[in-house]
Structure 1
């Protein structure tokens, strides 16, 4: 299964980047999106053949992935995609909760009807994708929902920080969507956040967001123990 996944990889061509970085982004996206699941063994020769590049940029890309904690390199076992660790998840969600609370409070002050309509549309599309069991689309829409709130905060540094963090959390988000029993909870959480934003209730918006993130953390912790 993992070999088949590697064979389906396609290089994300970008002439503005060094080949090492192109390979890095291709592999990084595949790991974060779950195309290369935890435990997948990454072999230089196979990757260079599939991606149509020499082994040097592959080797350099895997070093970068190792620095981000996405793969583990060892002399005996080679390079494998790192398993999802509860401690890493907790650390990332703790930071996410603090930053998203700031974002939702600031967004509350700037909220307008157009943004509310956008959030409602994203929530409806999110619910529909869950009904179709389309995890990739659901994850993308969930990201867009939270991104729209962050954009309404009108803080460039905050947006940059949360964008990077959401990328790192993407594969956790996919893991969370594997349990259909959580779908009604996720949908209701989005609705509650929209309701609080619409009434400009900062405290309630922050509480709903905190409850949403903590619920995700608890579900994920059960899955990866």
Structure 2
């Protein structure tokens, strides 16, 4: 774990505990802190240039979000990405995103449609440059605009409660350039259905999109587990 985290910048308007929390969460989501890795308060505090208190508070909050597990007498560890975890998240996500696309087809504004189309262009440009960070960022923006277009605050809240788990799997989805192109085409079809106000088609395409993402992620996780099992033999 040594040397993975940068020193915290204190010229930020947010409370220190929130800055530390966001830094640790980002490190987990991007894979800098890997599943099964132990989180040692003293070492993390030294790397980030802060006291142990905000680190301890951040770890507790990460535990509540399911990104960290506390093992009695052993300490805090980055939670693993099990096949069961992935299946559970995608099962919920498929239903929620299908509903979101259907509602967006009924309620989206012209400005929001333009935003979705612009983001698709930005994703395409980033993909051509193999700029994975931008692709992931823009994909997240795409879905947030889509959720906002539902005009259903409770639905948005429920989806955002899964955001950290979804973001971890989003990173897995963009490890293959061919898959990025497929994702882009799937997004385009969803936007076309929403633009045509075709509620049923938008719902169907969104659900199929999430199912393909799930299949891709599950295959990646299985390969990782097989590789880790070989190393342990």
- Find out whether 1:81 has 2:83 as its counterpart: no
Tell me by how many angstroms 1:78 deviates: 4.0
CA distance in 2, matches of 1:68, 1:177: 23
- Residue 35 of structure 2 is matched in structure 1 by 38
- Find out whether 1:156 has 2:153 as its counterpart: yes
Q: How many residues align?
A: 222
Alignment of 1:98-117 (within 5 A): 98-117=95-114
CA distance in 2, matches of 1:153, 1:23: 32
- Residue 3 of structure 2 is matched in structure 1 by 4
CA distance in 1, matches of 2:55, 2:24: 9
SS of 1:72's equivalent in the other structure is strand
Tell me by how many angstroms 1:209 deviates: 0.3
| TM-score, with structure 1 as normaliser | 0.88
SS of 2:77's equivalent in the other structure is strand
- Residue 199 of structure 1 is matched in structure 2 by 196
SS of 1:4's equivalent in the other structure is coil
- Change over 3 Å in CA distance of 1:54–1:113 after alignment to 2: closer
Structure 2: tracts of 5 or more residues without a match: 223-233
Tell me by how many angstroms 1:67 deviates: 3.0
Tell me by how many angstroms 1:15 deviates: 5.5
- Find out whether 1:219 has 2:213 as its counterpart: no
Cα RMSD for the two superposed structures: 2.2
* Paired residues of 1:39 and 1:82 also in contact (CA < 8 A): yes
- Residue 175 of structure 1 is matched in structure 2 by 172
- Residue 96 of structure 1 is matched in structure 2 by 93
> Cα deviation per residue 1:150-185 (whole Å; 9 max; x = unaligned)?
111111222222223223310110111012231221
Tell me by how many angstroms 1:54 deviates: 2.1
CA distance in 1, matches of 2:109, 2:8: 41
Structure 1: tracts of 5 or more residues without a match: none
CA distance in 2, matches of 1:97, 1:46: 39
- Change over 3 Å in CA distance of 1:108–1:142 after alignment to 2: same
- Residue 44 of structure 2 is matched in structure 1 by 47
SS of 2:121's equivalent in the other structure is helix
- Find out whether 1:132 has 2:117 as its counterpart: no
- Change over 3 Å in CA distance of 1:13–1:164 after alignment to 2: farther
* Paired residues of 1:12 and 1:23 also in contact (CA < 8 A): no
Per mean C-alpha deviation after superposition, the further-off stretch among 97-106 and 190-199 is: 97-106
SS of 2:27's equivalent in the other structure is helix
- Change over 3 Å in CA distance of 1:152–1:223 after alignment to 2: same
Per mean C-alpha deviation after superposition, the further-off stretch among 153-162 and 32-41 is: 32-41
